[in-house]
């Protein structure tokens, strides 16, 4: 009911404002308005609906960043996006990108994990979170879609999609080059050149980045090179073919986390590296000598990709075919979870999308079929000596296909209805084994095979309340496939799909001769079987990467996006989002096997789970409720008693979901003669507190921040620009993710139950950028 009231209020406000503009317009205002629009808020064209349309004409919940805006904000990789999009949190788990949008995401840390936010480049889905890398260069724009995108984007778009659209080849000859020099010994070189005729054109772009680590021991550095080559061929007036090849290479020390605790002292410097002092975790009953964290981490990633997009205008419809292939090879050693995690992964994915669409006056529609095929290998070693050493060697195969369609029909000149469906089927198979040293070797079979299917949908209405005022209400359902995880024997090594149903009402508006843009949204989301991934104890007494279905969750909130050009020289931007989240039901079991001889110096005690949630009574681990251990592995007598308990996190907020987030900024242009100008701007980003992991302990909570950025540029008519910039000038310690130390579960065992390892954003950075184009 409250969202119906909100919709009615938005309608009343929009109608009133639209009529007021029309009523107050004096003679000649139409011509004046046309002139003002040339200096007003710029229209942004997106293709998120598989057709070109203005953001102001779209009922999608979307944030758009142009290529120039991305460069000015210093966005060169996915982790930088979280600083410029409200409600978005991006961090690194080892060599893997973890993305959360309005609290919906995935603790993706290995090959078995899939993101709930779908990344796409030129319409091609990027399956591996560690395959995203430094590809944010030479972009036309980035579209951040909030909410389920199951109809057009398929599985693994439960919480949204992030679309990267690269710059296309053009006729003529053009190029640009830039160099960024900054503190932490930053050197970044970016260049692009292209040209050709109306029939055939090519474009080549490259980016090289080299930077010391933000942490004191060298971690969180950047060493990468990426290149992209594209060719556009138009053999006839109704045919065009775009072919793109891409290569990415990352060779860095990699990501690391910083220590946080409410019991033991933490460094005064928030960016003190984890290997400083060599022993990060103090000795406990689990680890008598302490857990050693070294500075020998590395992150090596190589990605080769090729894709094509063929468009044929058939008159009644346009045929589009997008074949693609991506080869990702990743090798990294990280201490992100608080102990040694050494992994090698490979992924070969191919996808094919064939669709028809037409952008008619009254009916706009698209329909198609999609096929996805991925083969993966994963080999990782987890060490927390002397208590644990596990080697996991698995293969994962995914075969997915889908059929989809969506249409928008104009019932009148001002009122439209939207409807869409997608059927998806995913077939997954996991093979391989886990060797757990307990201290004798236990071999666990990771075999599994399952098929998942689902029907996603979208429905809605759009109403033009005025020439530049639109109201909309939509409902959509998204789906993320189930799957498998290693370390636990079948049949307990799989998890179910998750679904999210979202209801959105909103209004898109332009006022006062196109100088003021005000977009409003209200949303209500219902989550079912949310997948949560965490480090936890297994029935065999080891620690592994586990996945559980959290049950149900509810999210609701509102957002506002404002762009105002009070003068031709000045632009003010502000965006804010309120978000309320709650786990309606989140109950799962944890295993707390005792630490007993033959490990010398260990005490036979049962560690309590460290969590801010409610713990159930300790109960026996029974073979009736759980699968037996693999053949040949003895069942310790203690394992059958007092080794299992439930954790109830119902009523807690979702992780990485700040209640308030947003940004505000102002930019002013000063003409200084001869066509030259100075452009000065400042902006701030803010977020309230948020839990960083489902452990819900206080040391795993970021208390919020306000970060200030500023820049000043000289723009010459000769085509070059010099910019001085500074980011996070307030030097806020902004934590974006992390997890509790898995072997520090209880005071009874001599450990610190609040020990948490958190990802942290960059400290204060500053530098100069030189850019030239022709």
**Residues 6 or more apart in contact with residue 256 via CB below 8 angstroms:** 215, 217, 219, 220, 273, 274, 275, 297, 334, 335, 336
583 Cβ contact partners less than 8 Å away, ≥ 6 residues apart:
550, 551, 552, 553, 649, 650, 651, 652, 653, 654
pLDDT at 266: 74
Does residue 203 lie in a domain region?
A: no
pLDDT value of position 638: 43
pLDDT at residue 283, as a whole number: 53
Low-confidence residues in the chain, pLDDT < 70: 1-39, 108-110, 277-291, 385-387, 438-440, 534-544, 591-609, 619-643, 743-751
SS3 content of the chain, % helix, strand, coil (to 5): 10, 55, 35
Q: What is the spatial distance between Cα 580 and Cα 560, in angstroms, rounded to a whole number?
A: 15
Rounded-to-integer distance, Cα 268 and Cα 164, Å: 39
Q: Residue 234 domain-assigned?
A: no
Three-state secondary-structure class, residue 212: coil
The whole-angstrom separation of Cα 248 and Cα 400 is: 26
- What is the per-residue pLDDT for 262? 82
Alpha-carbon gap, residue 587 to 566, rounded angstroms? 52
Taking Cα atoms as reference points, which of 391, 235, 749, 737 lies closest to residue 533?
Answer: 737
If one counts every other C-beta atom within 10 angstroms of the C-beta of residue 266, the result is: 16
- What does the pLDDT read at residue 277? 63
Q: Evaluate whether residue 219 is within a structural domain.
A: no
Tokens of 641: 């008693």
**Is residue 491 reached through a cis peptide bond, with omega within 30 degrees of 0 on the bond before it?**
yes
Q: Is residue 225 part of a domain?
A: no
Note whether residue 706 is domain-resident. Answer: yes
The encoded tokens of residue 654 equal 């979702």
Count of CB atoms within 10 A of residue 240's CB?
17
- According to DSSP, residue 69 is labeled H
Residue 591, pLDDT score: 67
pLDDT in the model for residue 620:
64
Strands (DSSP E) along 494-606, which ranges? 494-495, 498-511, 516-528, 531-537, 543-549, 552-564, 570-585, 587-591
Looking at 393-478, list the stretches that DSSP marks H as alpha helix, in order from N- to C-terminal side: none
Q: Is residue 740 part of a domain?
A: yes
- Decide: 677 and 715 in contact? Cβ < 8 Å: yes
Predicted TM-score (pTM) above 0.85 = yes
Residue 600 sits in a domain whose CATH number is: 2.40.170.20
Predicted confidence at residue 506, as pLDDT, reads 96
Give me 114's structure tokens.
């899939």
Helix (H) / strand (E) element for 703: namely: strand 701-715
pLDDT score at 531: 85
Q: Which domain holds residue 525?
A: 2-182+239-773
Domain membership flag for residue 443 = yes
- Chain segment 288-297, per-residue pLDDT in tens: 555 678 889 9
Distance between first and last Cα of the chain: 56
pLDDT at 640: 45
Kind and range of the H or E run holding 30 = helix 29-38
Query: For residue 575, is it within any domain?
Result: yes
**By three-state DSSP, how is residue 71 classified?**
helix
Q: How far is it, in rounded angstroms, from Cα 20 to Cα 41?
A: 20
- Distances in Å between the Cα of 5 and the Cα atoms of 12, 444, 508 are 11, 56, 18
How many domains would you assign to the chain? 1
> Residue 24: helix, strand or coil by DSSP?
helix
Residues whose CB falls within 8 Å of the CB of residue 631, separated by 6 or more in sequence, listed in order? none
Tokens for 256? Answer: 């690391």
Strands 160-166 and 117-121: parallel
434 C-beta neighbours (distance < 10 Å), count: 26
């Amino acid at each position: 009911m409250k969202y119906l009231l909100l919709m009615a209020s938005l309608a009343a406000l929009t109608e009133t404002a639209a009529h007021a503009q029309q009523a107050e317009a004096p003679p000649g205002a139409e011509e004046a308005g046309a002139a003002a629009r040339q200096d007003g808020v710029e229209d942004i064209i997106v293709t998120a609906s598989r057709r070109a349309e203005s953001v102001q004409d779209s009922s999608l919940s979307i944030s758009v960043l142009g290529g120039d805006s991305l460069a000015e904000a210093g966005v060169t990789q996915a982790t930088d996006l979280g600083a410029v999009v409200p409600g978005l949190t991006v961090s690194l788990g080892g060599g893997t990108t973890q993305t959360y949008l309005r609290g919906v995401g995935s603790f993706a840390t290995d090959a078995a994990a899939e993101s709930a936010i779908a990344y796409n480049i030129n319409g091609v889905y990027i399956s591996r979170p560690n395959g995203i890398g430094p590809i944010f260069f030479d972009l036309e724009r980035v579209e951040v879609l909030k909410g389920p995108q199951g109809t057009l984007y398929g599985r693994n778009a439960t919480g949204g999609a992030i679309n990267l659209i690269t710059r296309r080849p053009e006729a003529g000859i053009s190029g640009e080059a830039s160099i960024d020099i900054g503190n932490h010994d930053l050197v970044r070189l970016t260049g692009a050149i292209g040209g050709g005729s109306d029939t055939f054109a090519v474009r080549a772009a490259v980016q090289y980045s080299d930077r010391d680590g933000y942490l004191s021991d060298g971690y969180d550095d950047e060493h990468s090179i990426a290149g992209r080559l594209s060719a556009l061929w138009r053999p006839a007036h109704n045919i065009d073919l775009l072919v793109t090849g891409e290569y990415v290479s990352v060779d860095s020390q990699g990501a690391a986390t910083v220590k946080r605790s409410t019991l033991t002292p933490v460094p005064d410097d928030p960016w003190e590296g984890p290997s400083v002092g060599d022993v990060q975790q103090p000795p406990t009953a689990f680890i008598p000598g302490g857990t050693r964290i070294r500075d020998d981490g590395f992150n090596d990633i190589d990605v080769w990709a090729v894709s094509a997009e063929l468009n044929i205008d058939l008159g009644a419809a346009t045929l589009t075919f997008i074949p693609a292939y991506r080869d990702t090879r990743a090798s990294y050693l990280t201490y992100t979870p608080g102990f040694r995690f050494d992994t090698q992964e490979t992924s070969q994915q191919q996808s094919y999308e064939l669709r028809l669409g037409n952008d008619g006056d009254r009916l706009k529609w698209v329909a198609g079929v999609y096929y996805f095929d991925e083969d993966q290998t994963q080999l990782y070693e987890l060490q927390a000596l002397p208590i644990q050493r596990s080697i996991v060697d698995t293969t994962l195969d995914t075969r997915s296909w889908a059929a989809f369609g969506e249409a928008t029909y104009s019932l009148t000149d001002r009122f439209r209805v939207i409807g869409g469906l997608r059927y998806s089927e995913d077939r997954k198979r996991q093979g391989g084994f886990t060797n757990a040293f307990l201290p004798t070797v236990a071999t666990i079979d990771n075999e599994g095979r399952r098929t998942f299917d689902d029907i996603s949908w979208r429905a809605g209405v759009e109403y033009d309340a005025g020439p530049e005022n639109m109201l909309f209400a939509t409902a959509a359902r998204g789906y993320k496939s189930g799957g498998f995880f290693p370390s636990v024997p079948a049949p307990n090594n799989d998890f179910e799909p998750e679904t999210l149903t979202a209801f959105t009402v909103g209004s898109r508006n332009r006022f006062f001769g196109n100088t003021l843009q005000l977009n409003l949204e209200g949303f209500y989301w219902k989550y079912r079987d949310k997948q949560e991934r965490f480090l936890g104890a297994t029935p065999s007494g080891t620690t592994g990467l586990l996945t559980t279905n959290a049950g149900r969750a509810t999210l609701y909130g509102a957002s506002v996006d404002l762009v105002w050009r009070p003068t031709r020289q000045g632009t003010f931007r502000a965006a804010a989002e309120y978000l309320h989240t709650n786990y309606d039901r989140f109950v799962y079991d944890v295993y707390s096997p005792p630490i007993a001889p033959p490990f010398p110096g260990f005490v036979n005690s049962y560690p309590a789970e460290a969590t801010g949630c409610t713990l159930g009574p300790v109960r026996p681990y029974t073979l009736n409720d759980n699968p037996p251990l693999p053949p040949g592995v003895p069942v310790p007598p203690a394992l059958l008693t007092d080794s299992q308990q439930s954790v109830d996190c119902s009523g807690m907020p979702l992780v990485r979901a700040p209640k308030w987030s947003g940004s505000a900024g102002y930019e002013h242009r000063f003409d200084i003669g001869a066509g030259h100008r100075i452009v000065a701007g400042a902006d701030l980003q803010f977020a309230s507190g948020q839990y960083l992991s489902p452990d819900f302990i206080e040391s795993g909570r970021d208390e919020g921040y306000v970060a200030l950025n500023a820049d000043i540029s000289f723009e010459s008519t000769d085509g070059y620009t010099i910019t001085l910039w500074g980011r996070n000038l307030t030097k806020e310690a902004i934590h974006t993710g992390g997890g509790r130390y898995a072997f520090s579960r209880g005071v009874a065992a001599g450990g610190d139950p609040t020990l948490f390892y958190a990802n942290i954003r960059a400290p204060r950075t500053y530098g100069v950028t030189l850019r030239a184009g022709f």
